[in-house]
Each structure stands twice: as C-alpha cells, then as structure tokens.
Structure 1
Amino acid sequence: IVKLNQEFAESSYRQFKDEYDLRLNKKTQLKLSLERNLIDLRSSYRIKELTIESMAKKVEQEERLYKLGAGSKESLDQAKLNLEISKLELSQLDEKIKNQAASLEADLRELDLNIQIQAKKMAEQKSKLDQSEARSARDGIVTYVNDEIGANVNSGDVIARVADLSSFKIVATISDIYAAKLQIGGPVSVRINELDLDGAINQINPSVENGIVTFSVKLKEKSHESLRSNLRVQVFVITAFKDNVVRVKNGPFYNGTIDQNVFVIDGDQAIRRKVNIGVSNFDYVELLTNIKAGDEVIITDMQEYQHMSEIELTD
C-alpha cells in the first residue's frame, strides 16, 4: 500500500557498514603488527639474557686468569664493563616490552570503543531502514494512508494507521448530571444498528468538560465482526435491573415524570389514565399503577389531548 524510497537509507547503512568493517580490519592488522613487535622484543630479550650469562662466565674466567697472573687488569675491567652494559640493555628491553604491551592494550581499547560506536550507528541505521519498509507491528485494517506521491517523510511522520480488529474499546460520553451513576465495572449495553453487545465500564475520566463526562467501555465480544474503527454507536448505562414488570415501548408519550397521563385503547376509544412511572431505558418504560398486562397504550405524543378524558378512534 505504501512504498518509501529507501535509496538514501540504504546508502547510509552501507557507509556505516563499510566503516565498521574497516575498523574491524584495522583492529586485526594493528593487533598482528603489535604482537609481532612483542615477539621480536621478547626474542631479543632472551638473546640478551643468554649473552649476559656468557659475559658473566667471561668475567669469572678473566678474574681467575688475573689472580694467576696470566691475565691483565684491562681485560678484566673490559669484561666487567661489557657485562654491565648488557645488563642495562636487558633492563631497557624489559621496559620496552612492558610499554609495548601497555600500548597494545590501550590501542585495542580505543579501537574497540570506536567499533562499538560504529556498530551502534549501524544498528540505528538498520532499524531506520527496516522501519522504512512500513511494516505494521500487528494485524488489522488500514484506516489511513499518506498517498501523496513523492512527499518527503521524516522520522516520526505518520504514513499509515492500522486498526487492530482483535480488540476494540468504546469511548463514550454522558452528561455530568448522570456522573454519579457511573462506576467501574458497571454494566452497559452497546447498540450497533439492531445489535446489542454487552460490556462494562473500565475507565472514567475524572475531569468534566463542558458538562460532559467521558468514560470507556470494555466489550465482552471485543472482536465482534460488526465493530469498526471510529464507528459511532449508542451506549446505554445500566443502573438497575427489574424482573416481572409491566412495560411499554418507550416513545414520545413519555415525558420523564414519575406520574403522567397515558391513553389506553378500549374498543373504539382511547381512555385517559393516570399512571405512576417506574424505571425506564431507551427501549422501554415501566408502568406501575392503573395498568395491566395486555392493555394497549398509545405511545405517540398525546400532549394536545391531555385535557380530554377519552378520545373517539376512527380508521
């Protein structure tokens, strides 16, 4: 549905990758070079140790000859001087080996740090490259697409929206007059055309805006096939249940008072009766008194006939 130009992102990723590989290779080459130098220095150190052993024997030999009168003082002094010089050179080699090893460790640490930084840059660019393929993290229905061909898309820009069909939530509003009747877990009925779905209130916004309270509903059938993203539905908050009641369909006749006049059909007449009203909902109104099951009640607006006790009905 949406295809982004990945040329720039791919070029940047390749550049980071090449730099990363280059630094890895540099580390390998540096390590090999420094290790070769260390090997040469250690070999020179061992050779110098053997030379010192030979010179020490030479000094002992010159001392014996000098004591026997067969050697000169100059030869003995020269042998001792050569031995001391070799010992100093051995000490210098030892320091050089230590410095070389420390330098190798420091250089490798620096390269490792640079490699880590480059690896992070490469991973970030790879993530951007992957994200530029516009994959959705979940299944659902596309509800919006930026279809402007050739448009520049920056990081964070919305290019498409996907609605998750596996879970829908209802966001509803009600007048703050009825706010006290809202409670977490309270049952509700959600009507979609002629279909009613059961649910419960799972969140109530504590703030009131322009006399309106907002709350959300969790449906029992949250993935029902009739649900759609941004679908407008009717939500009825259920505050009470009553069984075995006399009821009539809700209609224009009901004015919201607890007692009122209704017209009951009796043959070819409509007789006015005063009744007490019980509970009501969007569909039905409970009639408490002066009415019985089976009575036919006119549910259209009868306000203009309220002064009459009976009305003659005609076809």
Structure 2
Amino acid sequence: MVNEPSNSANGGARRPWITTVAILLVVLLAVGAYLKLRPRRIRISVVQPALQAVSSSITTNGKIEPIHSFEAHAPLAVTVKKVLIKEGDRVKAGQLLLVLDDSRARSDLALARTRLKTAQAGYSALLAGGSQQQLLVRQADRQKAITDRDAAQRQLSSLERLQQRGAASPDEVAAARDRFSRAQADLAQLDSQVRYSPQDLARSKAEIADAEANIAVAQETIRNSNIRAPFDGTVYYLPARLGAFVNAGELLLQEADLSQMQVRAFVDEPELGRLAVGETTKITWDALPGRTWQGTVTTVPSTVVNRGSRVVGEVLCKFDNSDRLLLPNLNVSVTIIANSKDNALTVPREAVREDAGHSFLYVLQGNRLHRREIKLGISNLTRVEILSGISQNDIIAVHSFSPAPFSDGVEVKIVENPS
C-alpha cells in the first residue's frame, strides 16, 4: 500500500517526455515531407547559339573509274607478236603498244581483192551482153540478119522494077516484100533482145558488195592488229603476253587518263532527293589516311538499283587525280556536301526537342526555363541551324543532370561539371 503512490508519481513524470518526443517526430516528418515535395531546382548545362559555317552531307562508299578510257580486244583468234610497253607506262596518242600476228588477215585481204576483180569483170561483161565469145556470136548473128535484110531489100527492088516492065508477076513481088519484112523483123528482134535478166544483175552486184565487205573487214583486222594509244594516258592493265594465243574478243590492255577520274558513289534511296549536279564531294582512301581528294557531282541517278541488301542510286563525281594515286576499281569513301551555309546561327543537336511534329528549345530567362518553338535549317551530325525563334544572345538549355525532366517554367541551376 505504501508503494502505490510512488509508482503513480513516476508514471506521471514520464508522460511529458513522451509527449515532447512525439511532437518532435511530427515536426521532423513535416519538415522532411516539405523538403521532399517542394519544387526543386534542376541542375542543367547551357550554351549560347554560335554563328558558324554548317553543312549537310551524305557519306557513302564508291568505286574509282576513269573518265577517258580505252580497251583493246583481240579482233580474232591470234597470237601476240610484239608487246612494246609494260603495265604502268605512260603513253602518247598514236604510240604503238601491241602488234598481233596479221598473216591470216592479209591472206583474207588478198583473197577478197581477187574475188572483187572477178565480180567486177563479171558485172562489166553482163552489162556489155555477156562474155567475149557470147559477144562474137551475137555480133555474127546480127551481121547475118543485116545481110539477109539487105539482100531481101535488093530482091524486092529488082522485082518491083521488073513488074513495071511486065517481067514479074504481082505474086512474086508480094513474096519478095514478105521476105524483106521478115528480115527486118529478125534484125529488130536481135537488137531488142535483153542481154541480162534483173536476177543476173542483182546477183552480180551482190558479189561485188560481198567482196568489198570482206576487203573492209580484212583491212580493219589488219589495222586492229597494230594497237595504238588513242590519247595520252597510262596503261594500267596489261593481260596480254608476248607469244600468247588469245581468242577473239579477249581483253588485251586497258588505258586511261588517270589525271582526271570519277567515282561512282552508291547513295541510299532516302538520300537521293538531296543530290544535285555541282555539289562538292570529298573522297578518302583507307590506304592513305588523312589524304582527301575534292571533286563535284556531275551526274545524278535516273533510276535505282539493288546492290546487295541496299537500294541505291549511282552518282558520278568528277575529281582531280593529277598525282595519279587513285587507280581504277579502288573502293573509297565518299562524302557529298548536299548543302552548306556560312554564318549560320547554330546550336548543338541535343538541345533541340521535338513534340507532335514541332521543334523547340528551352531558353533560360532568369533562373527558369521557357519553351520556345523554332524553325530548323541545315544540320549535320553535331550542329543544327536555327532559322527563327531565338537570337544569338539567348541562353539555351542542353543537358539535365537531375532526375526531373525539362519543363516550361521550371527553376534551374547552371552547372559546368556535375558531380
């Protein structure tokens, strides 16, 4: 009984401490909730728009080709008689490069000329009425017909005089007149006879034409057996070997002017609309890193072709190769400058946002971001031109280093190197 008041007093003394701790916990929770839920400033990086040159380009692969080239092929199955140059030699226009065995062609030429003379003689004889023997026979027949006509005419005249004196009867005169008429008709028939038929004439002309064609072929073969350079250039491929037998049509050599070359670039279909004649091109070759050749687009595609898994248009770009380092058939990298502009107002590509087909930037005003719609121009891999919507003095938000995204009106803090 004596201990009960003491326990009651201790319990009453602990209650104020419990109440105080509870109040402190509530305050701490409230402060924590406030700190967590209140708007926080986003840490960002910013840039100012820059005036600089910007270009839009298309990068692809291509193959080197000569612009002015010449290929020599064997005109017929023949042996290579002389090889007067070696691969890589620079040659002059008209220089003799290869000589082929043309003995067969010369034999064909002689035979064709003989046939031509025979055909021409036959044609002349046909126009004259036949061969010499035929002409002699025809002349003899005509002379006999003339003699018969003249004799019939004299006999008719004599009988007409005798009839006037009563020494010849009318029947005798009529018979003489009939013989004279027949003699005249026989002579006229000989003179009017066709000496040759249209078929004979056509056949004779065809023989002449065939012989002349064979002569032309043989002469062309002989000319082609002496292979000369058609222009100043370089023999960059020479498969022909001295004494080797080559078949008709087989490639003997290739020559080109290596100072002026072109690249056939393979541009993917979606990029074709950006191409235009005159655009600048840059060519690089992996074998010579750091070296660049510059040229221009000369031909844009008129169709597309399948190239492996790609659908491409073939673009021809002319370039200067005066050092002759790029050879035909090399595979190179090609960059086509589709558009370019100096003093363009540009920002980094990552600063530009897209929403529902609209482009915009976040511009810093004071310590808050404000969304501003813009119009884009030329772009490349890192920069994009801004045609309207901002000025050079604006401050543009680029990256956020906080979990919260950019939004219109959000408070921000600029940082350079976030931890």
TM-score with structure 2 setting the length = 0.50
- Residues in 2 aligned to 1:287 and 1:23: alpha-carbon distance in whole angstroms: 81
Give CA-to-partner distance per residue, 1:265-284, whole Å, 9 cap, x none: xxxxxxxxxxxxx8447xxx
Is 2:184 aligned against 1:85?
A: no
The aligned length equals 257
Is 2:210 aligned against 1:102?
A: no
Counterpart amino acid of residue 234 in structure 2:
I
Equivalent residue, structure 2, for 1:190: 282
8 Å CA contact 1:189–1:238 kept in 2: the answer is yes
8 Å CA contact 1:169–1:216 kept in 2: the answer is no
Equivalent residue, structure 2, for 1:65: 165
- Residues in 2 aligned to 1:225 and 1:86: alpha-carbon distance in whole angstroms: 98
Counterpart amino acid of residue 114 in structure 1:
E
Equivalent residue, structure 2, for 1:206: 304
Is the alpha carbon distance of 1:98 and 1:180 closer, same or farther for their aligned partners in structure 2, counting shifts above 3 Å?
closer
SS state of the match for residue 342, structure 2?
A: coil
Equivalent residue, structure 2, for 1:216: 315
> What is the aligned-residue identity percentage?
15
- Residues in 2 aligned to 1:11 and 1:60: alpha-carbon distance in whole angstroms: 72
Equivalent residue, structure 2, for 1:11: 107
SS state of the match for residue 152, structure 2?
A: helix
- Residues in 1 aligned to 2:335 and 2:273: alpha-carbon distance in whole angstroms: 12
Is the alpha carbon distance of 1:168 and 1:45 closer, same or farther for their aligned partners in structure 2, counting shifts above 3 Å?
farther
Is the alpha carbon distance of 1:120 and 1:166 closer, same or farther for their aligned partners in structure 2, counting shifts above 3 Å?
farther
Is the alpha carbon distance of 1:72 and 1:138 closer, same or farther for their aligned partners in structure 2, counting shifts above 3 Å?
same
8 Å CA contact 2:236–2:255 kept in 1: the answer is yes
- Specify which structure has the bigger relative contact order, considering alpha-carbon pairs within 8 angstroms and separated by 6 or more residues: 2
Equivalent residue, structure 2, for 1:309: 417
**Among residues 342, 345, 349, which one is paired with 1:243 in the alignment?**
342
- Residues in 2 aligned to 1:245 and 1:211: alpha-carbon distance in whole angstroms: 34
- Residues in 1 aligned to 2:259 and 2:151: alpha-carbon distance in whole angstroms: 84
Give CA-to-partner distance per residue, 1:53-106, whole Å, 9 cap, x none: 32221121231233xxxx265xx755654543343233223222322x433876
- Residues in 2 aligned to 1:173 and 1:85: alpha-carbon distance in whole angstroms: 96
1:273-312 correspondence to structure 2 within 5 Å: 279-280=379-380, 286=383, 309=417
SS state of the match for residue 15, structure 1?
A: helix
- Residue 139 of structure 1 and its aligned partner are, at CA, apart by 4.3
8 Å CA contact 1:62–1:79 kept in 2: the answer is no
Runs of 4+ in 1 over 6 A off after TM superposition: none
Give CA-to-partner distance per residue, 1:127-183, whole Å, 9 cap, x none: 23322323455543222223244444333222222224575332012455x525542
Counterpart amino acid of residue 56 in structure 1:
L
Equivalent residue, structure 1, for 2:215: 122
- Residues in 2 aligned to 1:144 and 1:196: alpha-carbon distance in whole angstroms: 23
SS state of the match for residue 240, structure 2?
A: coil
SS state of the match for residue 240, structure 1?
A: strand
Q: Which runs of 5+ in 2 are unaligned?
A: 1-82, 84-97, 285-289, 353-377, 386-391, 393-415
Is the alpha carbon distance of 1:105 and 1:259 closer, same or farther for their aligned partners in structure 2, counting shifts above 3 Å?
closer
- Residues in 1 aligned to 2:259 and 2:192: alpha-carbon distance in whole angstroms: 66
Equivalent residue, structure 1, for 2:225: 132
TM-score with structure 1 setting the length = 0.64
SS state of the match for residue 146, structure 1?
A: coil
Give CA-to-partner distance per residue, 1:174-219, whole Å, 9 cap, x none: 455x525542326132335634423025122413431252422232
Is the alpha carbon distance of 1:161 and 1:85 closer, same or farther for their aligned partners in structure 2, counting shifts above 3 Å?
same
Higher alpha-carbon deviation: 118-127 or 209-218: 209-218
- Residues in 2 aligned to 1:198 and 1:144: alpha-carbon distance in whole angstroms: 25
- Residues in 1 aligned to 2:155 and 2:320: alpha-carbon distance in whole angstroms: 94
Query: Of the two, which has the highest radius of gyration?
Result: 2
- Residues in 2 aligned to 1:286 and 1:148: alpha-carbon distance in whole angstroms: 57
8 Å CA contact 2:258–2:321 kept in 1: the answer is yes
SS state of the match for residue 338, structure 2?
A: coil
